[in-house]
Chains A and B, each alone.
Chain A
Amino acid sequence: MLFNSPSFAIFLPIVFILYWFVFNKSLKKQNTFLLVSSYLFYGLWDWRFLFLILASTIVDYLVGIEIDRNSNNPGKSKNYLYLSVLFNVSLLGFFKYFNFFTDSFIDLFEILGYTIKSTWTLNIILPVGISFYTFQTMSYSLDIYYKRIKPTTDFLSFAAFVSFFPQLVAGPIERASNLLTQITSERKINYNQISDGLKLILWGLFKKMVIADGIAPIVDDVFANYDSYPASSLILGVTLFSFQVYGDFSGYSDIAIGTAKLFGIELMSNFKFPNFSRNVAEYWQRWHVSLSTWFRHYVYIPLGGSRVGKLKSVRNIAVIFLVSGFWHGANWTFIFWGAFHALAYIPVFLMGRNTIYKNSVVGEKSFFPSFIETGQVLLTFGIVTFSRIFFRSESLTDAFSFIGRIFGNFEYVTYQHPQGYRMVDYFILLAVFVIYEYRIRKDERRPFHFKNRGVRFIAYALVIFAIMLFYDSGFDRSFIYFQF
């Protein structure tokens, strides 16, 4: 069930009403209902994969208890932790990476001069959200192992934590210390929280349906036919892809966070206006925050983080970016994308500028950014956008050919929309979007933060109007990050 589908528009109010007015008598009933709703939400895609979620839930629930019970026996508790990691990584490995490793293995042998006729690749369907919920369950076992939390003995609540439908299929990847504690605590209906949630849902729908879906046909066209387009069109295509992927994923995250608010639950922020980052390090503090945090907590810091020598720190940075790239998909393009970001991040780290913008936003003390900040933002956006060529291309060959065409022979030709639509509409749309996002850049949770009620109303109405103006009934409206 997609967030931007009519079935979800029916599902959500029904679940909301039953949750607050029928199953509100006890926490247990409420959580049981939440669990059933989440399983229904997921099962409508493919009920068979519910068993994977259930298996991951049972394993980590039991492992969590065992790790805690054996806390004074480090060897045994570590073994239980390995069991959790092994189980979840195996699930991911099989469903997401099996064919990748098989193909890479065969390719390697071909390079060495041996030909293997492969019948090993399997027709595997990637279960939606597997990369997200396996990481979430693993984090639970890891947090117990590191004694950050105590295990729960309430299986229903734990299962609701793993499968909480607003963030089940594409995050934010939550840690038990935030989400599970809320699920095991009593929740009260709160007008302001619900109102904030609805506003976030509206803003998320705008980003998805207008920004991402509006420019998607252009991006698809440019990347599918890059060998027949001049450099100017390729630059346009990849720049628009930067906006598309941001609109798509941050739109999804806003809807997820907004939906969770309707049920009295606060999820972590996943996007903090990354397009206004002043260097690559700041970008990673603002883009897909839940994943970056996960890798920092469970990979980077256990490896020593930045408390080890410079060389080891650089190695640690390289590791998390490569793993992060690989997490996105079973393709060398994603690994290259991760490596590219590592190369862009490491100089910033070595100059000691990786945390200088941690607690500020561009134009912190004035409305307009300074010239230097503008330059920094444009440069960072350019670097990140360039890396998207790897992220979006089907193969490394395509990515390098794409780059080759940009740098090989620069030529400007006015781009024509594949369906003949006016391109100026999209340029105006993106300009207004960037200016509006800049206006609200200090608080990603309140996109309609205007004191005047009239202005607020006009903003809601114009957002709905924009959704109508760019709605395309013939367009596939699924989310990009569902494939990860």
Chain B
Amino acid sequence: MWKLIRKMAIYAVFTFIFLEVLVRVFHLYNDLPQWYLDENKTYRWIPGQEGYTVYGNRRQKFSQYRINKEGFNSYREFNPTADKYEVALLGDSFIEGFHQDYYSSIGKKIENRLDGIEVYEYGHSSFDFADQLHLVEVSKQQFDYIDLIVFEVKYENDLRRDEYSVRYRAVTLPFLRHSKLIVYMLNQGMFDPLKELVSDIQSLRKPKSEPVGGIDEDSLYLENFKKLVRKYNFDKAKMALMLDSRKTDSNFLKYLEQNGFRYIDYGLPFEKNNQRPTTLIYDRHWNDFGRKLVAKEISSFIEEDNSWINFNN
């Protein structure tokens, strides 16, 4: 028996090393950058990191990222000045754009459409509306120079809070992340069945709680929105929202229209072009075509915006 255990252990170690080498040689793993919490309690990526994000077991999608000095994924640095025209796009992973090459982002596509514009993409995975408003407030000096600020709001996810607070993150078993093989296996969901099994066992031990009913999510989201815009002095002339009207409650849209909140609706062009996929195959994020549609919609909005008209005159 000891012979078996000894041999299995030796094989396991060598197999691990062999697979680790294969995963590194073929670059099957995801180089997710490291983050930090800045002095204003805002999450940013550590500047200067470059790498590749990988989707699919067999590297079916492979894209490069670059973290700029501000701690966001962008091909450019953010240097707003009074004599240039700058647009800030704030949002979650869809704006952050690790799923695309950094030089093929929505911001770059807008810049290609409109001469003389600089687009700064303040995207960070899981940033909701409160995170975005907080970022604008704590980086006031920078945002004061920016001519137009667009907040990407996913109605079903981004209005669950009525104030900002740090949502502390933790990396599970960080030492294991040094192994690219383990990173790869985690990304491909190979540990998911094990996690499910553990959670099933845990749920057996915990008493079942009654589902909490009666909460009207739409009312809650609207109230949260009202509180947030009030608290952060939302500047309706300089700021706009970007949302998908197909996934947004009609009462919320009505409230925006009645109260002078401007919004860019990318849901309509997506609907018009529903014969072509707008998301990636291996991922729910927008593909190149989806990003083009969004960029076109934002560009059209900018072209009609007074700040852009004044700048060009």
Q: Which residues does A use to contact B, with CB under 8 Å?
A: 5-7, 10, 20, 189, 191, 194-195, 198, 419-422, 425, 457-458, 460-461, 464-465, 468-474
Contact = CB atoms under 8 A, between A and B. Distances in A.
A135 to B, nearest CB: 32
Contacts of A460: 11, 15
Contacts of A464: 15, 19
The 4 closest A-B pairs by CB, nearest first: A473-B189, A420-B281, A461-B18, A6-B193
B81 interface: no
Contact of A421 (B3, B14, B18, B60): B60
Given A6-B197, A468-B188, 16 more contacts: A5-B193, A6-B194, A191-B3, A420-B281, A422-B58, A457-B18, A460-B11, A460-B15, A461-B15, A465-B19, A468-B57, A469-B57, A469-B58, A471-B188, A471-B189, A471-B190
Interface string B174-210: 0000000000110011101110110000000000000
- Report which residue of B8, B11, B14, B57 has the largest number of chain A beta carbons within 10 angstroms of its beta carbon: B57
Contacts of A191: 1, 3-4
B22 interface: yes
Contacts of A468: 19, 57, 184-185, 188, 190
Nearest to A198: B8
Contacts of B15: 457, 460-461, 464
A155 B35 CA distance: 64
Contacts of A461: 14-15, 18-19
A473 B188 contact: yes
A473 B190 contact: yes
Nearest to A473: B189
Nearest to A467: B190
15 contacts: A6-B193, A6-B196, A6-B197, A191-B1, A421-B56, A457-B11, A461-B18, A464-B15, A464-B19, A468-B19, A469-B57, A469-B58, A471-B188, A471-B189, A472-B57
Contacts of A7: 197
Contacts of B14: 457, 461
Contacts of A471: 57, 188-190
Contacts of A472: 57
Interface size class on chain B is: 20 to 34
A194 B1 CA distance: 10
A20 B190 contact: no
B19 A419 contact: no
A473 B192 contact: yes
Nearest to A421: B60
Contacts, number: 61
A410 B66 CA distance: 50
B256 to A, nearest CB: 36
Nearest to A21: B1
A422 B190 CA distance: 21
Contact of B281 (A189, A421, A473): A421
B11 to A, nearest CB: 7
Interface in B264-305: 281-282
A184 B193 CA distance: 37
B4 A470 contact: no
A248 B14 CA distance: 29
Contacts of B58: 422, 425, 469-470
Interface in B251-267: none
A422 B57 CA distance: 12
Contacts of B60: 421-422
A326 B1 CA distance: 45
Contacts of B11: 457, 460
A457 B18 CA distance: 10
Contacts of B194: 6
Nearest to A470: B57
A4 to B, nearest CB: 9
A10 B201 CA distance: 13
Nearest to B14: A457
- Report which residue of A6, A194, A195 has the largest number of chain B beta carbons within 10 angstroms of its beta carbon: A6
A472 to B, nearest CB: 8
A83 B50 CA distance: 75
A419 B192 contact: no
A146 B3 CA distance: 45
Contact of B1 (A6, A10, A189, A469): A189
Given A461-B15, A471-B190, A20 B1 contact: yes
A195 B3 CA distance: 10
A465 B20 CA distance: 10
A470 B8 CA distance: 24
A202 to B, nearest CB: 11
B192 A195 contact: no
A137 B56 CA distance: 46
Contacts of B185: 468
A194 B11 CA distance: 15
Contacts of A10: 197
B73 to A, nearest CB: 25
A471 B18 CA distance: 18
Nearest to A458: B18
A465 B22 contact: yes
A470 B189 CA distance: 12
A182 B233 CA distance: 81
Contacts of B189: 471, 473-474
Interface in B1-53: 1, 3-4, 7-8, 11, 14-15, 18-19, 22
A458 to B, nearest CB: 8
Nearest to A474: B189
A460 B188 CA distance: 21
B66 to A, nearest CB: 27
Contacts of A421: 56, 60, 281
A189 B2 CA distance: 12
Nearest to A5: B193
A474 B188 CA distance: 10
Interface string B56-75: 11101000000000000000
A419 B190 contact: no
B117 to A, nearest CB: 34
B2 to A, nearest CB: 10
A234 B8 CA distance: 44
A194 B197 CA distance: 27
Contacts of A422: 58, 60
A303 B202 CA distance: 57
Contacts of A465: 19, 22
B21 to A, nearest CB: 10
A195 B19 contact: no
B14 to A, nearest CB: 6
A20 B2 CA distance: 13
